[in-house]
Amino acid sequence: MAIRRELFAGEVLYRQDDVSDCAWLLESGQVELVSVTGRRVASQGVFGPGELIGELGLLDGTPRSATATARSDAVLLAIEREQFIERLQSCDPILRTLVDSLLQRNRGLVASLPTETAVPAEDVACDDPVERAGIDKIRLETQLRDALATGTLEVRYQPIFDIAAGRVAGYEALVRWELPGRGAVSPAEFIALAEETSLIVPVGEYVLERVVATLVELRRRGVEPLPSIAVNLSARQLVEPGMARQVVARVQAAGLPAGALKLEVTESRMLDYAPVAAVMAHCREQGVPFALDDFGTGYSNLTHLHTLDFEYIKVDQAFARHMFDSPRAMRMVEAIVAMSHGLGAKVICEGVETREQLERLRAIGVEFAQGYLVGKAAPVESVLSGEAARLGEAAASLA
């Protein structure tokens, strides 16, 4: 869980020679770093909001090289070691070498400074927009870890409509993050951030756990047949060691019927077919089907379809949007539907907002529609009560 520290002016954050267990991001106030070597006392500068301190020891595992003391009341956010290490390990080896060599040189330089040398604060303050963006990312990542630990990420459910049957057949789980002081952060932003590191793994587990709990609760309330709920997984999540086993284990532990949980895979440039195919085969055998998400945009690649077997193909919302203003878009939707059916997959069209679109999709044989026409992503309570109400209606019509 993210640690926030509030310091009074004069209070010590850490002392020289302490273990470097985390770095600190200054949110407000000022902190001075002072190192003592023999009889030499050197100020390494006064740091202000948006600056990092104590990060160097994290990189090379050395103890704190200075004592950090608040020069005014200050608020700081702890940044964990893994947040840096994982990124360093995955970066270009040349960059790593450069970081190592800069680190060593910096250590040497500080050690050789004459007595009483202070580095002026202006020299260490950063105004570089790239660096600012880096700091913002570090902060967001820390807050996301916190949201995971405190359970404040919300999973919402958007209905998926079975066009022929004329009813909601299932839902797609979409994660939401309400950040105090910033409002709703789009999953488009924070999922991408989480994907840069293994942070995506706990995010995925979190969503999966919530979705399985929702299915279990629906069953407990007697909803029959259970609607299916689709969980989004990036290709990176899918090939994370142990992921497939985890998904299957959860479904089995909850005793869910085949097809109750579905997985939507987003295409990605780095899709490595062999491991993805193995994971998909394992899940499918255990009753967890797959949908290829956002088909027709982004890293969309026909090789995915040629190499991997999907039960569902989700046509990206861009196609529904342009179906009526571009005859070419319409032809493409028709061709995608024909191709999907030829491959034995059912089609889900995303972003359906008008009745006109829905009728057209019905006419060309699309099985499922998803979009604001059917419903927006809603909180779990509305799914539970909505499904229970449907159950009541069905019982009444049989009576």
Residue closer to Ca ion by CB (options 264, 267) is: 264
264 binds Ca ion (CB under 5 A): yes
44 binds Ca ion (CB under 5 A): no
CB 355 within 8 A of CB 319: no
Among Ca ion, ligand C2E, none, residue 187 binds (CB under 5-8 Å by kind): ligand C2E
Quick one: CA dihedral 191, 291, 207, 80, positive or negative?
negative
Number of H helices, E strands in the chain: 15, 17
Per-residue binding letters, 147-186, with ligand C2E (x by CB under 6 A):
-----------x---------------xx----------x
* Residue 223 DSSP label: -
Task: Return the residue nearest ligand C2E (CB atom).
Answer: 371
Q: Applying CB under 6 A, which of residues 141, 240, 293, 367 lies at the interface with ligand C2E?
A: 293
CB 16 within 8 A of CB 95: no
Q: Applying CB under 6 A, which of residues 144, 377, 380, 383 lies at the interface with ligand C2E?
A: 377
202 binds ligand C2E (CB under 6 A): no
Residue closer to ligand C2E by CB (options 65, 158) is: 158
Bridge partners for 290 per DSSP: 263
Subset of residues 251 to 290 that bind ligand C2E, contact rule: CB under 6 A: 266
Helix axes 187-195, 200-220, angle to 10 degrees: 120
375 binds ligand C2E (CB under 6 A): no
Subset of residues 207 to 226 that bind ligand C2E, contact rule: CB under 6 A: 207
Which of 3-11, 73-81, 301-309, 370-378 is the region at the interface with ligand C2E (rule: CB under 6 A)? 370-378
Among ligand C2E, Ca ion, none, residue 83 binds (CB under 5-8 Å by kind): none
Residue closer to ligand C2E by CB (options 13, 207) is: 207
- In 181-273, DSSP assigns E strands to 183-185, 228-234, 261-266
Sequence-distant (≥ 6) Cβ neighbours of residue 215 within 8 angstroms = 226, 229, 254, 256, 260, 261
Query: What's the min distance (Å) between Cβ of 272 and Ca ion?
Result: 21
- Which amino acid, one-letter code, is at 55? E
Q: How far apart are CA 240 and CA 350, in angstroms?
A: 27
Bridge partners for 45 per DSSP: 33
Residue closer to Ca ion by CB (options 74, 160) is: 160
Per-residue binding letters, 65-104, with ligand C2E (x by CB under 6 A):
----------------------------------------
Q: How far apart are CA 273 and CA 263, in angstroms?
A: 17
Q: How far apart are CA 232 and CA 291, in angstroms?
A: 9
371 binds ligand C2E (CB under 6 A): yes
CB 391 within 8 A of CB 224: yes
Radius of gyration for the chain, computed over Cα atoms and rounded to the nearest angstrom: 26
Q: Which residues bind ligand C2E (CB under 6 A)?
A: 158, 174-175, 186-188, 191, 207, 232-234, 266, 293-294, 317, 351, 353, 371-372, 377
